[in-house]
Chains A and B, each alone.
Chain A
Amino acid sequence: MRVSPINIAPRQWLSLSFLVLAACAIANISGGMQEPTLGITWQASEQGLSVAEVAPGGPAEQAGIRSGMTVLSISSAELHQPLSPTTLTEEPSSLVSYDVYNRFFKEQTTLFNIISSDKVQLEVAGNGMITVKPEPRSIAQLSILFWFQLACSFVVWATSMAVVIFRPENTAARIYGVMGFSFAMITFCTAIYSGRELATSGELFYLLAIGSHFSGLMLTFSFVALLWHIPQQINQFPIFRVFVVLYSGFWLADVMQLGNGSPADWFHIPVIISLLSGFSITIVQWFKSRQQPEHRLTLKWIMFSMLVPGMLFVGGNTVFQLQQLPALIPQGYAFGLLVLIYVCISLGISRFALFDLDDWWQQIWLWLLISTLFIITDIIFVSFMKWHDVLSAITSLSIIGFLYLPLRQWMFTHVFSRNQVGIEQIFSDIVQLAVLTDDKKALREAWEALLRKMFSPLEILQVENSPKEAEMLRFNVALMVPDIGTGSPLLLAYADQGGRLFSQKDRTFIATLSSMTRKAIEDAHAYQKGIDDERQRITSDLHDDLGAKLLSLVYKSENSEQRKLARQAINDLRDIIDYNQDSRSNQHDWAAQWKRECLRRVNESDIQLQWQQWHLSDHYLPAHMAQQLSRVLREALSNALRHGDGTKISVRIHMRGNKLFMSVRNHCPDLQRNCSGGHGMKHMKARIQTLHGTIRWRAGKKGGCHVIWAVPIDDCIDS
């Protein structure tokens, strides 16, 4: 993680930013509580305002106010103010002219002063004057709209601050931070005045209105500037600064109340400029990303994240305000649509590596969420349900601990988890890989299969130069995997079938995995070399001692029959040694050796050999297995030679499924003699059983004895 310039860890920065947020929220809540309450929910009416709802037990109910009554004016001892639908205006900038706009704030001040007095008289149509005693507003009496906006500001603040704190050097991240700050400021301002019961102090209202206007402008131009930088910066033009100057001009024009139009003009004109600029920039970005699928994918996500909620906001609220019509979605609730922008962008952080952030960012965010959830549940219990502090804290903890955490875990496992391969499976695969150490082709295939299983990449390419460490390439679309000893390093591209980018976690994991696999292969190789050396030593000794004696037999034999026998013994000894040395041969190689041996032996007996082999593979056949098979073949051939009719012997070798089948058939006139038991057959059975195979003797269809054995190949490789 990065160290911030003033040496505070990002998580502490985050905590600090939340303290600021908490301070703002407290200021906001106390601002909202400034307004005394009459306990009435108002709604616009043709004459004055009508009572939509009366709070049970509130001052209005006590005074006999009932829902449905129409209130024409409100007055205190000194002040009097007629009521009109304009009184309930949610957003003052939507008013038709600056005259109406200024009058509105004066009226709000008058109303605020009236309801701040001890007794208020309401002029109710048909009921005369009714006196109501206003009460201070409690936290529980703040409107749902107020809390909704506060929640929106929390979500957006948390998301954007977490981005800018972890990537302060990234321009796009800073702009995103400005977007988040602006949004939080708007909702803080509007929460107070749009969540009012009837009136807020005009001076405060005005300050909040122009503050909200400034923040709104900042939000729209940072929106455009973000599109300028993501997925790639269009050029070096200082778009952010230009917009700051231009939009400050619009804001000042509003503050100075320039022009004859509506105050809304100074907001809606820049909004329209922003929307048009946003579209144009998106088109340019689209064009620029035509050769870069990863940028195109990011752009599509950004477009979806920003334009869809943005359009819904404009369509559901802004357009109606421009037409001076009641909005389809009230402004306070419409802010919820804008929150979607931030939520979608934060979801794109791990998918598209936005702002160069990674999966861990969401972990941090969740840490924040859990802390906040605890505080909020606690506040709800203490403030709204009047619970005791300790009981409230325990209940909050229980809710978080027993409900939220398991739910979060479930979500991670079932919703967010990728098709991950268990670590046990990976280790088991690595061990199998190491066994294949001598067969580079099989090793490469197995390694590719493991990587495919882990990352489901759309492409696996063999590259020439091996990086020393795993490397991310092409904006995290591809991951270069170092060579594990196959001679061909691999490039994985488009993880999870193109569904995500590679993360730093993947890089670290693959680096560890490839070095571990390389080590396992080296160890297996060293082990195999040890075995080979030892085998070499034993066979060399065998050669020297036994070979020398057999040689003497050749030289001292009195007749050619004895000499022939001694030479056969020497050749058998050579075959044994050759098998031991050729431990890196595949099925074809072994079949060729077996064929040579069989040919030599049948030639000596002047018998015809019918050799057939098919479906053999290039895969490595372990020496211990080949040796056992050789001995069984030798024994079978000896039997066939000994008991055959001296004309022909057939040998067949082939693969079927994962089994290697071998058979020897002669043309024996006496089946009983040929296939009867004995030491030879017992030994053959024992040898095949060590390879988990089967062997059987049967009468050949065209006569003679047929011995067939089959051994599973995979089992032997694993063993």
Chain B
Amino acid sequence: MTASIHNILLLEDHRDAQAWLLHALQLAFGPDIHVDTVSLLAEAKKHEQENSYDFILVDLNVPDGSGVELIRQFKLAHPESYCVVATIFSDKQHLFAALKAGADGYILKDEEREDIAQMLGGILQGNPPISASMAQQMLRYFHDTFHADQQQITALSDRENEVLTCIAQGMSNKACARELSISHHTVSEYIHNVYRKLGVHSRAEATREAILRGII
């Protein structure tokens, strides 16, 4: 990665935000930096192709498109350079679209200049500039996904739990069928479902799962 930052491209269509972010950049990387400020995506793409930037600060929603396109283009051409999003959007759709495109950071531009500067400056020390609320958003997403997956994978129906109990007690398919008053074909189908849901391939593994689940 780039060791120091001199050339910066700022894509921002909001005039006040331009000044705010420019100030934050200067606070972060010193007054000697060179910043090209553009308000349209097309201009930014052109600048990016014609110049060599160490860092680009990108707004996501600009009049002629999405800043995500610039991030993608920039990171493909200069994977070693930094690219950070400065936006007002705090939702996960925008966050993940930007991160997938290759963004190295994601900050909310309504934050205090000093806070923005501190986050941006940390990038050279390997601290990704991410607003606290966005970091929380990411954590929440992965926690939710994890729980949803767990529920999806391991939710056994009542009947499947009964069949698992029978298997764990060492019963044969026939004995299990007698116990539950169903045909042994049906028992086989339930066992197949239980194996699939638990990701196991033998009665021993299924028994271990039953013990772990506190079924027996």
Taking A543-B61, A551-B110, A581-B91 as contacts, is the C-beta distance between A556 and B189 under 8 angstroms? no
Complex interface residues of chain B between 168 and 184 (CB less than 8 A to chain A) = 182-184
In the complex the two chains form, is A474's CB within 8 Å of B185's CB? yes
Compute how far the CA of A717 lies from the CA of B41 in the bound complex, rounded to whole angstroms.
43
- B175-216 interface code vs A (CB 8 A; 1 in, 0 out): 000000011111001101100100000000000000000000
In the complex the two chains form, is B110's CB within 8 Å of A554's CB? yes
Chain B binder among A71-79, A178-186, A457-465: A457-465
Complex interface residues of chain B between 48 and 98 (CB less than 8 A to chain A) = 61, 88-91, 93
In the complex the two chains form, is A551's CB within 8 Å of B89's CB? no
Indicate the member of A554, A555, A566 with the most B CB atoms within 10 Å. Answer: A555
Q: Report whether over half of chain A's contact residues are helix, strand or loop; otherwise say mixed.
A: helix
Q: Is A491 an interface residue (CB 8 A)?
A: yes
| CB of B92, distance to nearest CB on chain A (Å) | 8
Chain B binder among A41-49, A323-331, A570-578, A659-667: A570-578
Q: Is B14 an interface residue (CB 8 A)?
A: yes
Which of the residues B88, B182, B183, B186 comes within 8 Å of A547, measured between beta carbons? B88
Compute how far the CA of A628 lies from the CA of B153 in the bound complex, rounded to whole angstroms.
34
Residues on A with C-beta less than 8 A from B140 are 592
How many A-B pairs with Cβ below 8 Å? 55
In the complex the two chains form, is A577's CB within 8 Å of B91's CB? yes
Residues on B with C-beta less than 8 A from A618 are 151
Q: Report whether over half of chain B's contact residues are helix, strand or loop; otherwise say mixed.
A: helix
CB nearest neighbor in B for A593: B140
Compute how far the CA of A474 lies from the CA of B73 in the bound complex, rounded to whole angstroms.
59
In the complex the two chains form, is A493's CB within 8 Å of B186's CB? yes
| CB of B57, distance to nearest CB on chain A (Å) | 15
Residues on A with C-beta less than 8 A from B151 are 618
In the complex the two chains form, is B186's CB within 8 Å of A461's CB? yes
In the complex the two chains form, is B19's CB within 8 Å of A555's CB? yes
| CB of A679, distance to nearest CB on chain B (Å) | 28
Compute how far the CA of A552 lies from the CA of B20 in the bound complex, rounded to whole angstroms.
10
Bin chain A's interface residue count: 20 to 34
Q: Is B145 an interface residue (CB 8 A)?
A: no
In the complex the two chains form, is B14's CB within 8 Å of A548's CB? yes
In the complex the two chains form, is A555's CB within 8 Å of B17's CB? yes
In the complex the two chains form, is A551's CB within 8 Å of B183's CB? no
In the complex the two chains form, is B91's CB within 8 Å of A551's CB? no
Taking A462-B157, A574-B90, A578-B91 as contacts, is the C-beta distance between A556 and B186 under 8 angstroms? no
Residues on B with C-beta less than 8 A from A548 are 14, 88
Residues on A with C-beta less than 8 A from B193 are 461-462
| CB of B108, distance to nearest CB on chain A (Å) | 8
Q: Is A293 an interface residue (CB 8 A)?
A: yes
Compute how far the CA of A555 lies from the CA of B89 in the bound complex, rounded to whole angstroms.
17
In the complex the two chains form, is B14's CB within 8 Å of A551's CB? yes
Q: Is B32 an interface residue (CB 8 A)?
A: no
Taking A548-B14, A570-B88 as contacts, is the C-beta distance between A461 and B110 under 8 angstroms? no
CB nearest neighbor in A for B185: A474
| CB of A116, distance to nearest CB on chain B (Å) | 68
| CB of A595, distance to nearest CB on chain B (Å) | 12
CB nearest neighbor in A for B140: A592
CB nearest neighbor in B for A574: B90
In the complex the two chains form, is B17's CB within 8 Å of A551's CB? yes
Compute how far the CA of A566 lies from the CA of B157 in the bound complex, rounded to whole angstroms.
51
Which of the residues B93, B110, B184, B192 comes within 8 Å of A570, measured between beta carbons? B110
CB nearest neighbor in B for A578: B91
Q: Is A544 an interface residue (CB 8 A)?
A: yes
CB nearest neighbor in B for A548: B14
Indicate the member of B17, B88, B93, B159 with the most A CB atoms within 10 Å. Answer: B88
In the complex the two chains form, is A555's CB within 8 Å of B16's CB? yes
The 8 closest A-B pairs by CB, nearest first: A555-B16, A552-B16, A547-B88, A574-B90, A554-B110, A555-B20, A570-B110, A461-B189
A selection of 15 A-B contacts at a CB cut-off of 8 Å is: A459-B186, A461-B186, A461-B190, A461-B193, A464-B192, A493-B186, A544-B61, A552-B16, A554-B110, A555-B16, A555-B19, A555-B20, A581-B91, A589-B144, A618-B151
Q: List 12 additional A-B contacts (Cβ < 8 Å) besides A459-B186, A578-B90.
A: A458-B182, A474-B185, A543-B88, A551-B88, A551-B109, A551-B110, A555-B16, A555-B17, A570-B88, A574-B91, A578-B91, A581-B91
